[in-house]
């Protein structure tokens, strides 16, 4: 990071400009070449807004705020991640923005009609020198397909009477929004919105100001993926599987959990994934029993089982794939017994999946297999104790969020879901010590079809014999070597 010799002045300016942090939208910058050509199009975002209007109640308006920026350390911001709902409906990925979507056509004071308005952060050449090009009004119109676009500074004077709407549909307000130097930032947009509601006395009428309806409507739309979304999810899943495969081939006992994480994420980025959809979980031995273990600090994984739950995020859409493998290349008898139960549970769940089936049917099928298997091995005394070693749900929707918006009753065609049974037996458990520190989770991503499902993550092996076979293969990552650090040579 560049620092001026005039440290105090440079620090102050940097702090201000970094408070305006954003992700630029490079896909529509015509001055740039060699950029991905498979971003979602403005026709997609326009279609999603039209689909939303079809299910919005009469005389209603939906309000979507950007996510806030977050401080990483001192004057450094986390890389900005757009609100998935804002991106879904507009394609706009910058902070400090507000989207209004109306059920019916509206008219301004000049008689012009509109049914959607986007407020965005203003172009600022000085800020853009630090944080990247902003779309501005013209760029936002091109990206979103929305023709009524203003700078966020215009929202304060924007004439809108919220008292005339039967429903104002808005998500819960973001928490801990920083009040920056900009009077048109997210903090002020929310403040001005609340002032407009107070003036219209809407805040007194909780039946009109509706958070639950926001969640319901967005879940109804986002749980069913369009062909464009399915294409991006296929790519994210295949990338994730290739990461799993290459790590299986190259892993050895002297590797650290962080090194293994790095290999996964190197493969992701090699194939164009911008990041991961959640913190990568690389748990060896006892660490695999921690469901959301993300420290990944063990310096040597040894000959233990290795649980790897890693998902590439590609153009905003995230995969979620877990494989559990023996680092030494061969499952022990105990590891094989536990792994086979989890595999059989997943297969039992798969058999229930199709358009119109119930989430509960899949969950019951997997849970019954795990309960029966643990009883047979003497790890639990009766099936009612299964929750001790299988403490989580069977799966979830994936998409713009790793735990994507959706309903959990009936499965429908074109849903993309995970199925992820697991067994975790921490040290000190009330069973024979030979089972301690064995953790197995198998997680796959599936597309629901009319008569069944498509296993999107079929690229990475799941069966015991196939995993052991792949571990014996050579990897393109086998021969990477780095010179030792000087500090290591000196014994630090």
Report the sign of the C-alpha dihedral through residues 202, 206, 207, 210, in that order. Answer: positive
Comparing CA positions, the residue from 86, 81, 80, 84 lying closest to residue 116 is: 86
Query: Residue 189: CB partners within 8 Å, gap ≥ 6?
Result: 65, 96, 97, 98, 119, 152, 155
Q: Could you tell me the domains of the chain?
A: 14-222 (3.40.350.10), 227-471 (3.90.230.10)
Is the alpha carbon torsion for 361, 455, 266, 87 positive or negative? Answer: negative
Alpha-carbon distance 411 to 176, whole Å? 36
The pLDDT tens digits of the residues spanning 145-189 come to 999 999 999 999 999 999 899 999 999 888 889 887 888 999 999
pLDDT tens series, the chain, 492 aa: 433 333 333 333 344 444 444 333 444 444 567 889 999 999 999 999 999 999 999 999 999 999 999 999 998 999 999 999 999 999 999 999 999 999 999 998 888 899 999 999 999 999 889 889 999 999 999 999 999 999 999 999 999 999 899 999 999 888 889 887 888 999 999 999 999 988 777 766 767 888 899 999 999 999 999 999 999 999 999 999 999 999 999 999 999 999 999 999 999 999 999 999 999 999 999 999 999 999 999 999 999 999 999 999 999 999 999 999 999 999 999 999 999 999 999 999 999 999 999 999 999 999 999 999 999 999 999 999 999 999 999 999 999 999 999 999 999 999 999 999 999 999 999 999 999 999 999 999 999 999 999 999 999 999 999 999 999 999 988 887 788 888 766 665
How is residue 102 written in tokens?
Answer: 């109306």
H or E element in which residue 446 lies:
strand 444-448
Q: For residue 144, what are the β-bridge partners?
A: none
Q: How far apart are CA 57 and CA 52, in angstroms?
A: 10
Write out 350-368 in H/E/C secondary structure.
Answer: HCCCCCCCEHHHHHHHHHH
Reading the block at residue 53, the tokens are 């209007």
pLDDT at 479: 81
Closest CA to 354 of 415, 271, 404, 306: 415
Per-residue pLDDT at 7: 36
Q: What is the pTM of this model?
A: 0.91
Dihedral over Cα of 292, 293, 296, 299: its sign: negative
Ramachandran assignment for 469, one of left (phi > 0), alpha (psi -120 to 50 degrees), beta (any other): alpha
Rounded to whole angstroms, the Cα distance separating 350 from 344 reads 10
Nearest Cα to Cα of residue 237 among 459, 478, 11, 60 = 459
Which string of DSSP letters, residue by residue, matches 306-350? EEEEE-EEETTEE--EEEEEETTSS--HHHHHHHHHHHHHHHHHH
Rounded Cα distance, 121 and 135, in Å: 9
Q: Quote the Cα angle for 240-246-252, to 5°.
A: 125
Predicted confidence (pLDDT) per residue in 448-490, tens digit:
999 999 999 999 999 999 999 999 999 988 887 788 888 766 6
3-state class (DSSP) for residue 46: helix
């Amino acid at each position: 990071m560049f620092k001026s010799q005039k440290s105090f002045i440079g620090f102050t300016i940097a702090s201000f400009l970094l408070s305006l942090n954003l992700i630029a939208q490079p896909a529509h910058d015509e001055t740039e070449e060699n950029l991905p050509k498979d971003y979602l199009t403005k026709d997609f975002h326009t279609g999603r807004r039209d689909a939303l209007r079809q299910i919005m109640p009469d005389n209603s308006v939906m309000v979507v705020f950007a996510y806030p920026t977050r401080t990483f350390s001192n004057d450094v911001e986390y890389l900005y991640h757009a609100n998935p709902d804002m991106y879904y409906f507009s394609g706009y990925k910058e902070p400090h923005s507000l989207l209004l979507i109306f059920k019916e056509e509206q008219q301004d004071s000049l008689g012009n009609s509109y049914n959607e308005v986007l407020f965005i952060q203003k172009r600022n050449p000085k800020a853009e020198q630090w944080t990247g090009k902003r779309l501005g009004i013209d760029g936002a119109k091109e990206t979103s397909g929305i023709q009524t676009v203003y700078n966020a500074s215009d929202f304060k004077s924007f004439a809108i009477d919220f008292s005339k709407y039967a429903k104002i549909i808005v998500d819960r307000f973001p928490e801990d929004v920083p009040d920056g130097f900009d009077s048109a930032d997210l903090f002020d947009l929310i403040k001005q919105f609340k002032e407009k509601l107070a003036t219209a006395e809407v805040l007194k009428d909780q039946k009109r100001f509706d958070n639950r309806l926001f969640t319901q409507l967005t879940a109804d739309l986002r749980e069913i993926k369009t062909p464009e979304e399915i294409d991006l999810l296929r790519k994210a899943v295949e990338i994730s599987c290739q990461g799993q495969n290459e790590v299986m081939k190259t892993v050895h006992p002297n590797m650290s959990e962080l090194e293994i994480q790095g290999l996964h994420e190197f493969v992701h980025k090699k194939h164009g994934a911008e990041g991961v959809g959640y913190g990568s979980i690389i748990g060896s031995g006892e660490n695999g029993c921690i469901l959301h273990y993300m420290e990944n600090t063990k310096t040597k994984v040894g000959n233990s089982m290795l649980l790897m739950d890693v998902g590439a995020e590609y153009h905003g859409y995230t995969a979620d794939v877990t494989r559990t493998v023996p680092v030494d290349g061969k499952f022990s008898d105990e590891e094989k017994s536990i792994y086979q139960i989890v595999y059989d549970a997943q297969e039992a769940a798969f058999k229930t999946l199709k358009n119109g089936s119930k989430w509960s049917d899949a969950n019951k099928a997997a849970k019954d297999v795990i309960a029966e298997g643990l009883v047979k091995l003497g790890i639990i005394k009766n099936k009612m104790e299964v929750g001790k070693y299988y403490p989580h749900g069977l799966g979830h929707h994936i998409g713009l969020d790793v735990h994507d918006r959706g309903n959990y009753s009936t499965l429908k065609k074109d849903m993309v879901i995970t199925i992820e049974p697991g067994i975790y037996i921490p040290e000190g458990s009330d069973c024979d010590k030979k089972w301690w520190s064995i953790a197995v989770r198998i997680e796959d991503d599936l597309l629901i079809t009319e008569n069944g499902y498509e296993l999107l993550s079929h690229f990475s092996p799941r069966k015991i014999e196939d995993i052991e076979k792949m571990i014996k293969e050579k990897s393109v990552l086998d021969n990477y070597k780095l010179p030792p650090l000087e500090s290591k040579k000196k014994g630090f």
